[in-house]
Chain A
């Protein structure tokens, strides 16, 4: 990918960033999960579970879900690029070169983004169907 071999420090920083990026999808999923469950628990158990409050919560979950999906979509796109761009044999990223390592991390991040995307949808589905705290 690069003409010159990068300095070890640069390379390390790059891989570290890539390692962080791999967690982005699951991280958004986790935050979305906590936010949804906390909101439902507080409104249903601690507040009065009034219909307007529940309605507001359902819309907020809807908006939060769209935002989370957009974030995960973006992370997924990035990892797709990281995996595919300039990769001539995408299923053979295992000979230990730096390039292969980066591409492998991209691949893993993409798969994690996909599962996070689905997880966020499944977390939000109850808010779509249930209209009360019962």
Chain B
């Protein structure tokens, strides 16, 4: 309530504008700054929400992100100290001191503060930044991933050590904890960028070339990533989940992921085949081998539907199939609104059961 009352004050101040000298206007203007402060305090908690959660560079779960977090803290503390120092000096010179200083002092201040100090600070910061670059670019060990940016989803391929064919998945990345995994980044068509703030920095995915990054999760957890390079209508709806797992759990999961779909029969499977979904989607273990859209072999084991946009429930899957463009403008999957509800339900139930 008080905020709302305060919010109306600036306009009161503006109305009083022409008569600035009148006592009442001055009083009202004097209220201005404190009322603005009031608004900012209300906003502060919203800003703080960025400090936590599955997609925050300030709440880290990986070695690379922790290093960047430290870099940020160092820069922030340094910036605050410099800001206070400069403004303190400024205040001192304009409000307090005001005495002229000798030429020698003035020159020392200009050369020391204008050249010496910035050189020392910049050299230290540059050296610090350069010294952590080899870590940020370190080579992975063992497992290799290939993530390809598509419109508007992620093709994910796992290449275990010595494998000659990949294990194909989509829209979710799983990584072993305590190990550095090499990630190759590719793209078809337009530029995307893979960014998992809690695990590391972002890297662009550029058509026609393979970029690389490597991630080293240090604790188990669920993290969220986001495409960080505008790639079309549903760019903002191109997210993904990253799961960091203990090494043993990861190996078990990867073995399951490599296996063909279980329970490949039933009404849902028949509708899937009859509707021709297999022209775009692969479900290993059935005849569906399409590679235009995401691999659906273990769809139900993922944390979300359609690249981080919908919850993993049979209802959400049915909603998606009925009208994908309702959730993602520009999507490259046709709508199946003509399917009767019971067929949609059977189809969705079957897809959801593919764990």
Report A's interface with B, CB cutoff 8 A: 114, 118, 121-122, 125-126, 128-132, 134
Contact = CB atoms under 8 A, between A and B. Distances in A.
B115 A131 contact: no
24 contacts: A114-B115, A121-B123, A122-B122, A122-B123, A122-B126, A125-B126, A125-B127, A125-B130, A126-B133, A128-B130, A129-B127, A129-B130, A129-B131, A129-B133, A129-B134, A130-B130, A130-B133, A130-B134, A132-B134, A132-B137, A134-B137, A134-B138, A134-B139, A134-B212
Contacts of B134: 129-132
A44 B75 CA distance: 31
Contacts, number: 27
Given A122-B126, A129-B127, A130-B133, 16 more contacts: A114-B115, A118-B119, A121-B123, A122-B122, A122-B123, A125-B126, A126-B130, A128-B130, A129-B131, A129-B134, A132-B134, A132-B137, A134-B137, A134-B138, A134-B139, A134-B212
Contacts of B137: 132, 134
A128 B127 CA distance: 9
A38 B138 CA distance: 24
B207 to A, nearest CB: 18
Nearest to B127: A125
Contacts of A125: 126-127, 130
Interface centre among A126, A128, A129, A130 (most CB of B within 10 A): A129
B129 to A, nearest CB: 9
For the complex, would chain B's binding face be called helix, strand, loop or mixed by DSSP majority? helix
Contacts of B126: 122, 125
Interface residues on chain B, size class: 10 to 19
Interface of B: 115, 119, 122-123, 126-127, 130-131, 133-134, 137-139, 212
A130 to B, nearest CB: 6
Contacts of B212: 134
Contacts of A121: 123
A122 B126 CA distance: 8
Top-8 shortest CB links A-B = A129-B130, A134-B137, A129-B131, A126-B130, A125-B130, A125-B126, A130-B133, A118-B119
A129 B137 CA distance: 13
A134 B211 CA distance: 10
B92 to A, nearest CB: 25
B309 to A, nearest CB: 34
B138 to A, nearest CB: 8
Nearest to B137: A134
Contacts of B139: 134
Nearest to B119: A118
Nearest to A131: B134
Nearest to B107: A91
Contacts of A128: 130
Nearest to B139: A134
Contacts of A118: 119
B216 to A, nearest CB: 15
A129 B126 CA distance: 10
